[in-house]
Structure 1
């Protein structure tokens, strides 16, 4: 489990950001834990910050250099 403030990387999308909260989704009638991550929008010229939510198993820990 990740803590609020941890940096994480989404294994499918490549989004990198900081955990800002948790959520839940219902998948196949089962509650699944999600992470809410504040992503740096530098790659996206339309916005500076973006919040992404995805199931926790899609995220891996990341240590910024």
Structure 2
């Protein structure tokens, strides 16, 4: 589980950001956990500061080098 303040990477879009909250979405009558992420780096659009919410499973912890 990610903690508030952890940096994460979206596996499909390449967006990197900080976890700022959690949410839930109903898929096939099942609650699934979502993450609310403040995007610091958006590879495709270059936009920063966007809050993105997506399934928890779409993100992995990001470790800067």
The answer to whether the superposition gives a TM-score over 0.5 is yes
Runs of 4+ in 1 over 2 A off after TM superposition: none
Match of 2:35 in 1: 35
Q: Aligned Cα RMSD in Å?
A: 1.3
SS state at 1:40 partner: strand
Q: What pairs up with 1:1-65 in 2 under 5 angstroms?
A: 1-40=1-40, 43-44=46-47, 48-65=48-65
Contiguous gaps of at least 5 residues in structure 1: none
TM-score (norm 2): 0.87
Contact 2:16 2:41 survives alignment (8 Å)? no
Contact 2:17 2:41 survives alignment (8 Å)? no
In the TM superposition, what is the alpha-carbon distance from 1:64 to its structure 2 partner? Answer: 2.0
Contiguous gaps of at least 5 residues in structure 2: none
Aligned residue pairs, count: 62
SS state at 1:4 partner: coil
